[in-house]
Amino acid sequence: MTSRRTFLASMLGVSVTLPTMRADAFRHLRRADERGAGLPPATAADDESYWGEIQRAFDIDRTMVNLNNGGCSPAPTHVLEQMIRDLRFSNELPVDHMWRVLEPRIESVRRDLAAEFGCDPEEMAITRNASEANETMIFGTDLARGDEVVFTTQNYPRMQNAWRQRERRDGIVLKRVKIETPVLSTESFVRQIAAAITPRTKVIEIMHISFQTGYIAPVREIVELARPQGIKVFVDGAHAFAHFPFKRDDLGCDYYGTSLHKWMHAPIGTGFLYVRRDKIKSLWPLMAGGVEQEDNIRKYEEIGTHPAANHNAISVAVAFHRSIGAERKIARLRFLRDRWARQVLASSDRAHMITKIGPKESGAIGVLAIDGMDMGKLGGWLLDKHHIVTTPMVTDEFQGIRITPSIYTTLEEVDLFADRVSRAIKHGLA
């Protein structure tokens, strides 16, 4: 297998095959790799000389502390620059530069993403986000009046709204499962989903990672529960892909949708839809393709005129991700999560985690609850008084505040958050 160092060296010398790649695009990654060479992921997690170089790959506003990277994350500077260069090139003569020169390069993007996900490129469609991918599944599957769809009350609201539209138009039946928070165990989660299944169940939609709690769901176990009964499993992977290491075969799924502007650090407005090859023909696209495209994954990309620059820059983001390494990335993200969480938990017995933490639990997303404190007001106070961006989670089922650092987040930033929250618990929001 190619080492990170060999990979970086090859990327720095590919000006012939990748004419838009600057020779110094991966300079910070090369320096980082030299400093972190040979270190196991867990050891590298707190190597600030290594992560300091990664941080320098991003041009961001350091007057704000962004702890909502689960919503949308910035791209590294060289990823953004490639997209801007291609946008300018497109604008010179769109009908030629965009359509003839740049658009065909989507096939390279397809190849790179398929390799990362572990599927055939002919099963990989490039979309604009997870919502587009997931709604292709939702609106593209044939359902009859009375057919049942199972999902949890914590599934993403846009997906729930899509199912409700089908409920109104087609008369399908929605079975919404209330999962305990926090989830007690894998067995408990699977048992609650299984209890909602009836002979009329046709689809289960499951989030790979809960956007509300950071819980990583047992996708494979749900697929193994559903497949023998002829039930489709749609996986909403918006927060999972490139967040922690996994492949398609680890999940066993037939359908998967994700965004790439979260953990892959691709440009805003990028994602993918995976459909297992023998399922493509039976899943309709959102926008009609030609009849000759029935069993072609590209039918899901028939969305009309759109910028090629956005999706072509995905390949640069994939190279950035590979150069760090998925194991090293998740080790760092868990280290940052545990660093702030343990400080806050130690400050008061009123603080507790809705998200399980530890070396093998969850990922970057950590959700904190504080007894007797309004989480919405805490989020507003952190933003207005301390310029810290967080995500209050105020639902019918629980109250918490979602904290999501990223690979460019510094120790000082997570320590600042922990300190301000600890002060708020002790002294109130003043």
Cis ω before 307 (30° cut-off from 0): no
Which two three-digit tokens encode residue 273?
A: 């839809």
The pLDDT value recorded for residue 40 is 72
Amino acid at 268: I
Query: What are the two backbone dihedrals, phi and then psi, of residue 186, each rounded to the nearest 5 degrees?
Result: -60, -45
The pLDDT value recorded for residue 15 is 35
The pLDDT value recorded for residue 369 is 97
What CATH class has 101-318? Answer: alpha beta
The pLDDT value recorded for residue 2 is 39
364/7 Cα distance (integer angstroms) = 26
Secondary structure percentages of the chain, helix, strand, coil, to 5: 45, 15, 40
User: Looking at the chain, which residues constitute the CATH 3.40.640.10 domain(s)?
Assistant: 101-318
CB atoms within 10 A of CB 326: 17
Which two three-digit tokens encode residue 188?
A: 């408990």
When the candidates are 3.40.50.300, 3.90.1150.10, 3.30.1490.20, 3.20.20.60, the CATH number that belongs to 328-427 is 3.90.1150.10
The pLDDT value recorded for residue 35 is 56
Could you tell me the mean pLDDT of each successive run of 10 residues in the chain, 430 residues long? Answer: 43 38 52 60 86 94 96 95 96 96 96 98 98 98 98 97 98 96 94 98 98 96 98 98 97 98 97 98 95 96 95 97 96 96 97 90 95 96 97 94 97 98 94
The pLDDT value recorded for residue 4 is 47
The pLDDT value recorded for residue 54 is 95
Q: Roughly what angle, to the nearest 10 degrees, separates helices 375-386 and 411-427?
A: 120
335/50 Cα distance (integer angstroms) = 14
N-terminal to C-terminal alpha carbon distance within the chain: 55
313/87 Cα distance (integer angstroms) = 11
The pLDDT value recorded for residue 39 is 66
The pLDDT value recorded for residue 27 is 61
Three-class secondary structure of residue 228 per DSSP = helix
The pLDDT value recorded for residue 44 is 85
Query: What are the two backbone dihedrals, phi and then psi, of residue 175, each rounded to the nearest 5 degrees?
Result: -110, 105
Three-class secondary structure of residue 3 per DSSP = coil
Which two three-digit tokens encode residue 227?
A: 């497949």
The pLDDT value recorded for residue 361 is 83
Count CA atoms within 13 Å of residue 365 on its CB side. Answer: 29
Q: What is the CA radius of gyration of the chain?
A: 22
User: Looking at the chain, which residues constitute the CATH 3.90.1150.10 domain(s)?
Assistant: 328-427
CB atoms within 10 A of CB 319: 22
Q: From 184, 251, 238, select the one nearest 363 (Cα to Cα).
A: 238
Find how far residue 232's CA is from the centre of its chain.
Answer: 22
360/420 Cα distance (integer angstroms) = 27
67/415 Cα distance (integer angstroms) = 12
The pLDDT value recorded for residue 30 is 58
Which two three-digit tokens encode residue 340?
A: 């702030």
Q: Is the pTM here over 0.85, yes or no? A: yes
The pLDDT value recorded for residue 14 is 37
